[in-house]
Structure formats: structure tokens, C-alpha cells
Amino acid sequence: MTETPPTAEHHQPGRPNAAGFWAEAWARYQRMPLACAALVMVGLLAMVALLAPAIAGTKPVVCRYKGQIYFPCLAYYARSLEPVIFSKDKFRGEYPANLQAKDPESWAIWPLVFQDPYRAVRTNEWPGRPGNPTRDQGRPSRMNLMGTNQNGVDVFAKMVHGTLVALLVGFVSMGIAATIGITVGSLAGYFGGWVDVVVSRITEVVMCIPTLVLILALLAIVEKPTIWKMMAVLGLTGWPGISRLMRGEFLRLKSSEFVTAARAIGARPGRIILRHVLPNALAPVVVPITFGIAAAILTESGLSFLGFGQPPPSASWGSLLNDARSNLRMWWLVFFPGTAIFLTVLAFNLVGEGLQKATDPRLREAKK
Amino acid sequence: MIHHLTRRLALGLVTLLLISFLVYGLIRSIPGTPLTVAVAEADPSRRLNPADLDRMKAAYGLDKPWYQAYFVWLGNVVRGDLGRSISRKAPVTQLIGERIGPTLALSAGSMLLTWVLSIPLGLYSAARSGRPDERGVSLALYMLYSVPTFVAALALQVVFSVWAEGTAWELPLFGMTSGLPHATTAAWLLDVARHAILPLVCQTYVSLAWYTRFINTNLQEVLRQDFIRTARAKGAGPLRVLVHHAFRNTLIPLVTLLGLSLPALLGGSVIIEQIFTWPGMGRLFFESLRERDYPTIMGLTLLFSVLTLAGQLLADLLYAWVDPRVSME
């Protein structure tokens, strides 16, 4: 935010209002082809993540069974969404044969690729198709586009479902971190005094504790680390950087004229913080939040790689890399998840870089 | 100056106390103790009987609640005693002393490589700014920066240890030496160097990309200033302007970086040392966390925290020292 003095030009009557800060930033962002490509990539990843059960799975997307329409694929989002009737009729997760046998009238629309991210597909589970190869025999083939791991689980299915895990980890944990960081940082910056002393000390302590100790200790304390607990832990450890930046912005802005003016007309601190200062202080933290999403995805896959992630069966990209460690001959277990993590991190980094260029007031000055 | 320094040191001490207290509480609340974890992993049928367990707990001071045990630990630290490792039956200082050499070899080598390569690369990028070749180099470095270390490490292992097996390009998969007796010191050094290549590459490429970008951005900023135009106007050649006038002025932020990289120098990288089973500090840390070896975890945490805080202080001091416009007051 530049504090350019209002010139006569800005207030000419009859001239439409100048575009807002974010509209201007967006216009500048669109002029960067690489950043735009990265944004498209993020969009594609989000689509793959949301449509994962329709791309790869062993449960029908839609099926008609005993006169009713069901969506068994929803079970991939949450176990509880699997229609009860299928467990009552003892399907045991095997739909193709059971649907035919128990209701010849039934029909189903299947996912694009009949493979499961959590288990190996057995012989003739899909009529006439061989089961997945196990051990180190699972090279990429027509049946298993990206090969299989030691247990015969299809890598492509894991990759597709892992996209949801990666993006969820990135967005949810950074959402938690951003909420804590922005709240804590703005309170410290606005009120100063002892609030600031306490907050700054806590920030410093969290920053100084080796991240791995903090994350591993918290993960061990919650026991059985599910993906949601992992997000909470990453969020609880990722806020200090944002809090620092926010504090700095608030310190800078709270002595500016518009805050004094707001105070003079009797606005309460809550209103000043939320309505006056926060919108002006948000731009610089958007960039570290974007980079933080990339970092969270990296950390989660790194932890899964080291064996500290969600216990198997898990669809995390990092767990595939962990499988690769015990058999390096299975290069496909390194290449596909490695490339996916790389491209995702790169996309978020490029978006962050683009945002930085688009919102940096110094660069805007240089253009004029 | 003295006043500022004492204030910083006092605040640092408070932070250290808080960190150690918190970490102590955290690691003591992780399920499992050093006595149960190690035995259970070795052989589930040979668990200690309760009476023995209690006796051993008392011997290691684990029978007290953690906040009491913390102050016992703190008292020992003040007297210069970091305690004895429970799972390794050796003093923590000795363990750290054994591991610091390998870590230093890796991190110092990586830092040297980074500086030697990134300064010319940064100068080159600034000199040819905006041209196609510079854009290519920058994009490549940027992509390199986004490659996770563990992915790069695994890929290198696949290429150089599995695919290149039996060729002249084959490199050892893990460890620091091949474990065979060496005839001469030179042969030993060669063996270590061969083992160090892959971890060194993994540890260097990210910082290389980052430093190059950092130098490039700073140079771009300096090159826009008036005294550069003056230098050009008086007829200084492009190389002289770049190195003599511009680069010297970017040394200030670089020097601060030097201070901030202090913890990385001795802390080692957990992931790289773990993948390549390099017997350094990061691996010791990881193993002691798994073994719930409280004294070692605490000793290492203390060391890392001191280094982080000292690095920040060093960065500030260096900053004030190289830039006369900055005052410590």
C-alpha cells in the first residue's frame, strides 16, 4: 500500500473511481504468463482432487440397485457416506460381481479407471481382468498406468486420491496457521505493551524449537495420526512467520492518519482492527500464506516419507515414496509421486511469486 | 552497544529457558519411555518385570513428574553436565562430539559449494538480466528450488546406485564409509568422498538456487541506483561496474545470511542424513526421538536453540558492523 498523497487528479468529478487494490493486483497478475499457468495448474489439481472417486475407484459413481439410486463412490470422501444397504447385503467392497448377482436388473456408471487406492484389485473382480501384480513385478502397464506397489495397490489410483490429501493438507493447515497468525499478530501489533511482549516471546519460542521435535511430539501425543490431526499439527506450528509480518504491518499502520481519524470519531478497537487496519495489512501476508501451502504439502509428504504419516492404508504421495525406499528398483514409485509433489509445490511457489509481484507497491511505483 | 548486547543476551536466556521447559514437557508426554520402547522393539517377550522397571526408572530419574525432572536436568546443565544417554549408555556430549564431524563435513562442503557457485551465477544473471539465456537459467534454478530434497535423494539413488550398478558411475547408496579396512588415510578419504557425493548434491542444490536468486535480486536493486549511473557515466566498463560498484554493495545482506546459516551448519539435515544413513547430528536427533532418549533430545534441542539465537544475534552484529548506517542502539 503506497500512501500517495491524494492529488487533484484523483478527485476529479465525473471520473470513475480508480480500480481497487485487489482489482489492480489481479490485472497485474494476469500479465504474468508463468504465474497464470501455475494458477491453471492449481485449478486442475483441485479438479482432480474433487473428482478423484470418479477418476479412479472400485465403487460405482452412480448405480441403481433394487429399485433405488445410490452413489457408493462417496465412500472415498468419508466412510460413513457409503450406503448402508451394501454392507447389509454383504458386498464387502466388491461391487461388479455382487451388483450382477444380487440384482440382475441393476446398472452402474463406473469410474474411468477401475483401481482402488487402498487395496489391490483381485483377479476377475472386474470380469475377465487379471489381478494386480505384487512385489516388484508391478511395472507401469495398460492395466496399471503408473504401476503398482509391493502390495499390488495401483499407483495411479493412489496418485489421484493423494491429490485430495495433498491439497487438503495445504489449504486446511495453512488456513489454521493463517487464522492464528493473523489474530495473534494483529492483537500484538495493535495493542503493544505487555500483549506484544508475551506474543513476541511465544512467537520466538515456537520459531526456535526445532520444527521436527514440535511436529513429531504433537503427532505422538495425539497418537494414531490421521490426516486431520496432521493438518491441525501443521497449522499449530506454522503460524509464527505470519504473526510476525502481521505485527509489523499493524505497528506501521496504527500510527497512520486514517486510524487516528477512526479513533477520533469514536470507533472501538475491534472495529478499527477489523474494518480499518486489517484490510490494509492483508496484502503482505497473502504471499507467505501461498508459500506456506507449498511448505505444508512438502512437510506432510516428508513426514509420510519418513513413516510418520497416517498409518497405512493411506493415499498420501509421501507414503508411496516410503514404499520406494525399501525397493529402489521400482523406479515408478519414485518418479510419479516425486513429479507430482514437485509440480504441486512449483505451482504454489509460482502463484506466490506472482502474487508478490502483483501486490508489491515498490514495483508498482517503478512502473509509473 | 554493551547495553543492547546484555539486553539481547538476557532475552535470549529467557527464551532458552522457555524452549527447554516446553520441549521437556512435550517429549515426556510422548507415549513410551526410553526403557519400554527399546525393549519392546527388541523382543516383546522379554519385557522388564515391574520391579526392575521401577528400579531402572529411579536410576534414570524417570520416576519423578516431568516438571521436577526438568529442574534436575536444568541444574545439571548449569553445572556443565548434559547427562548420559539412556539408550546408548554414553555421555551426551560425547555422542554430540562423535556426530558433529560428519555433519560439519557435509554442511561446510555444501556451504562452500553454494557460495563458490552462486556468486558467479548471480552476477551472470544480473548482467544478462531479461535475455533468453538468463531467463532459462533463472527458471531452471526456480524449478530446482521446488524439488523436495527427499524426492531428489531417492531419484539420485535410483539413478546412481541402481541403474548405474556395475558401471564406473556407480555411487554408494548409504553410509559414510564402506566399512572395509583402509590401507592408507588417502584411501579412507577417497571412500568417504565417494559416499559424500550424493548427500552433498542433495544438500547443495536448494541453497544454490536460493542464494543465486537472492544475489540476483539484490544486484538488480543496486543496479537501479544513481551511483551506478554515475559509474557508467564516468566510463567504467560493465564488468567493473558490476563487480566493483554493484556487487560490493550487495555484500551487506549476504553477510547477514552468513549469520543466519549458523544453525544449519551444525544442525545437519534430518531427512538427508536419514536417507543416506550419514552418521551426523540430524540422524542422531531422529534416532533419539524414536528411542525417547530424553537426555540426548534435550541436549540437541538446547544446542539447536542456542545456535538459532546466536545466529540471529550474529546476523544483527554483522549487519551493524558492515553497514555504518545501522546502529545497534
- pLDDT tens per residue, range B8-48: 888 888 888 888 888 888 888 777 777 776 555 555 565 66
CB atoms B26 and A210 under 8 Å: no
Q: Which three cell numbers stand for residue A175?
A: 488456513
Looking at beta carbons, which residues of chain A come within 8 Å of B158?
328, 331, 334
d(CA A164, CA A162): 5
Looking at beta carbons, which residues of chain A come within 8 Å of B146?
294, 342, 345-346, 349
Residue B42 confidence (pLDDT)? 56
Please say whether the beta carbons of A135 and A293 come within 8 A. Answer: no
pLDDT tens string A334-356: 888 899 999 999 999 889 888 88
Length, in residues, of chain A: 368
CB atoms A213 and B157 under 8 Å: no
Peptide bond into A313 cis (omega under 30): yes
State the DSSP code for A145.
Answer: T
Is B202 at the interface with chain A, CB within 8 A?
A: no
Residue A8 confidence (pLDDT)? 44
CA distance, residue B51 to nearest chain A CA (Å): 27
According to the per-residue pLDDT averaged within each range, which of A58-67, A206-215, B194-203, B314-323 is highest? B194-203
Residue A95 confidence (pLDDT)? 77
With helix as H, strand as E and coil as C, how does A94-132 read? CHHHHHHHHCCCCEEECCCECCCCCCCCCCCCCCCCCCC
Residue A6 confidence (pLDDT)? 46
Residue A46 confidence (pLDDT)? 93
CB atoms A335 and B157 under 8 Å: no
Is A331 at the interface with chain B, CB within 8 A?
A: yes
Alpha helical stretches, state H, A209-331: 211-222, 227-237, 240-253, 257-264, 269-271, 278-306, 317-326
CB atoms A213 and B155 under 8 Å: no
Q: pLDDT at residue B226 above 80?
A: yes
Residue B43 confidence (pLDDT)? 59
Whole-angstrom distance between the N-terminal and C-terminal Cα of chain B?
6
Q: How far is CA A99 from the centre of its chain?
A: 36
CB atoms A325 and B274 under 8 Å: no
Residue A47 confidence (pLDDT)? 92
Which of B23, B145, B286 lies closest to A209 in CB terms?
B23
Q: Which three cell numbers stand for residue A71?
A: 452413489
A237: buried, middle or exposed (CB in 10 Å: 19+, 13-18, 0-12)?
Answer: buried
Residue A173 confidence (pLDDT)? 92
A311-325 core/surface letters (b: 16 or more CB in 10 A; e: else):
eeebbbbbbbbbbbb
Is B142 at the interface with chain A, CB within 8 A?
A: yes
Residue A172 confidence (pLDDT)? 93
Amino acid at residue number B201:
V
Count CA atoms closer than 13 A to B259's CA, side-chain side. Answer: 19
Nearest CA in chain B to A331: B158
pLDDT tens string B65-79: 888 888 888 888 888
Residue A7 confidence (pLDDT)? 46
DSSP B133-179: HHHHHHHHHHHHHHS-HHHHHHHHHIIIIIITTTSTT----SSSS-S
A329: buried, middle or exposed (CB in 10 Å: 19+, 13-18, 0-12)?
Answer: exposed
Residue B138 confidence (pLDDT)? 84
Is B14 at the interface with chain A, CB within 8 A?
A: yes
Amino acid at residue number B161:
S
pLDDT tens string B238-276: 888 888 888 888 887 787 787 778 777 877 788 888 888
Cell numbers 452412480 correspond to A62
CB atoms B285 and A212 under 8 Å: yes
Cβ contacts below 8 Å, chain A against chain B, sum to: 109
Is B147 at the interface with chain A, CB within 8 A?
A: yes
User: Which residues of chain A register pLDDT less than 70?
Assistant: 1-19, 223, 361-368
Residue A310 confidence (pLDDT)? 75
Strand ranges of the sheet holding A62-65, from the earlier edge strand across to the other edge: A68-70, A62-65, A107-109
Nearest CA in chain A to B19: A205
Q: Report the SS3 class of residue A253.
A: helix
DSSP A146-186: T-B-TT--BHHHHHHHHHHHHHHHHHHHHHHHHHHHHHHHH
Choose, out of B21, B146, B273, the residue to mutate when testing the contact with A (most A CBs < 10 Å): B146
Looking at beta carbons, which residues of chain A come within 8 Å of B301?
209-210, 213
Q: Which of residues 174-203 of A touch B (CB under 8 A)?
A: 201
Looking at beta carbons, which residues of chain B come within 8 Å of A353?
142
CB atoms A302 and B148 under 8 Å: yes
The per-residue pLDDT of chain B, averaged, comes to 82
Is B306 at the interface with chain A, CB within 8 A?
A: no
CB atoms B147 and A342 under 8 Å: yes
Is B138 at the interface with chain A, CB within 8 A?
A: no
